[in-house]
Homo-oligomer: A and B are copies of this chain.
Amino acid sequence: MLRFALLGAGFIGSVHAANLASHPGVEFSRIYDIDRSRAQALAETHGASAAADLDEVFDPENIDAVFIASSTDTHARHLVRAADAGLAVLCEKPIDLDLDRAREAAAHAAGRAVPVMIDFNRRFDRDYAELKRTIDAGEIGDVELLQLTTRGPALPPLSYIATSGGQMRDQTVHFFDLARWLTGLDPVEVFAAGSALSDPRLAEYDDVDTSAVTLRLPTGALVQIDSVRRTGYGYDERIEVMGSAGLVEAGRRRTGAVSRYRAGQVVDDGLHPGWFERVQPTYAAALAHFVAAVESGTPLTPSLDDGLKAQAIAEAATRSLHTGKSERIEY
């Protein structure tokens, strides 16, 4: 049994709490949140206890692993402290919005040799795992072109936008990771174009809501990613990978398989209302992977390095949004 403490009792913290509570190999012990009452409420729901302070979290006598799901600006600090305490870490992305600070914290943790996993949960999607298997088995030949789509149904509140780091670092970063993971290659160049179409106030935050990114891989293969914040038709995510011998696609996911035939049209069940409904099962799968790998001592992925690299791509993409040029990616 892996004894777990959870940092953060907000929305995503509650998601992780539910998964921790129902994983048979986890003893879900403590929850910490700066808002203690929030921690307490969540702890009660899941039979855990609210930690009085961080000492009760980073407590190697009683805790084996921490799940960092607190606000972004606390990730690096918690990571460092967990590493110092010798605890395994499952960390929400990003390590830090500032890439230098993120690298520093990652280097520190690496020095302590504790197992750390960045929660790029989409890698644990059933369909994406099948894409990876297909590619790795050589079924589509050499990878030559990827198309990734991520489109959210509604613009998050501007207060969220303000601290998000911008669309590349906040939304597209998951797909930078997926592109790296699926191909096993680190992109060398990135071009990004973006616009603020849903709300002009985005411009005040120097942010965009609709963007088109092109990555170049070292083999010359190309990647296109479109990211949208507000669709009008639900949450839309799909990936296709073309190789020299064929194409494999993880298509749009529907909420059901009902079709209604009327004169001249067929009305099918549509997409999920939001990103969470679409990716929900991947969180439990990611946690299961973490627990199994920690228990068996096998290497953890996505690793700290994976986290840093996806972030480095986001940095270069953000630069390109301003320069209008293809930017070299510095890892």
- Give the interface of A toward B (CB within 8 A): 22, 126-127, 130-131, 134, 139-142, 144-145, 147, 149, 151, 189, 191, 193-198, 210-212, 214, 216, 219-224, 226, 228, 230-234, 236, 242-271, 273, 324-326
Q: Taking the nearest CB of chain B, how far is it from the CB of A284, in angstroms? A: 13
Which of B145, B236, B325 interacts with A261 by CB under 8 Å? B236
**Cα(A89)–Cα(B189), bound, Å:** 45
With A193-B191, A197-B244, A325-B324 in contact, do A263 and B232 touch (Cβ < 8 Å)?
Answer: yes
14 pairs, CB–CB < 8 Å, chain A vs chain B: A144-B228, A189-B193, A191-B326, A193-B216, A197-B220, A212-B223, A232-B245, A250-B258, A251-B257, A251-B258, A253-B257, A254-B266, A265-B268, A325-B326
Check A246 against B222 for contact (C-beta < 8 Å): no
**Cα(A219)–Cα(B127), bound, Å:** 35
Check B248 against A210 for contact (C-beta < 8 Å): no
Across-interface contacts of A251 in B (CB, < 8 A): 257-259
Check B270 against A261 for contact (C-beta < 8 Å): yes
Check B196 against A210 for contact (C-beta < 8 Å): no
Across-interface contacts of A255 in B (CB, < 8 A): 264
Q: Give the nearest-CB partner of A195 in chain B.
A: B220
With A256-B130, A258-B130 in contact, do A247 and B233 touch (Cβ < 8 Å)?
Answer: yes
Number of copies: 4
Across-interface contacts of A271 in B (CB, < 8 A): 261, 264, 266
With A139-B260, A251-B259 known, 15 other A-B pairs at CB within 8 A are A130-B269, A141-B232, A189-B324, A194-B222, A211-B222, A212-B224, A224-B224, A231-B246, A232-B245, A233-B261, A233-B262, A236-B247, A245-B262, A251-B258, A263-B270
Which of B126, B144, B193, B223 interacts with A197 by CB under 8 Å? B144
With A210-B144, A263-B232 in contact, do A256 and B127 touch (Cβ < 8 Å)?
Answer: yes
With A193-B214, A228-B144, A247-B261 in contact, do A126 and B256 touch (Cβ < 8 Å)?
Answer: yes
Q: Give the nearest-CB partner of A125 in chain B.
A: B256
Across-interface contacts of A231 in B (CB, < 8 A): 242, 246-247
Across-interface contacts of A264 in B (CB, < 8 A): 234, 255, 269-271, 273
Check B222 against A210 for contact (C-beta < 8 Å): yes
**Cα(A326)–Cα(B212), bound, Å:** 12
Which of B22, B189, B224, B261 interacts with A234 by CB under 8 Å? B261
Across-interface contacts of A147 in B (CB, < 8 A): 147, 149, 226
**Cα(A264)–Cα(B234), bound, Å:** 7
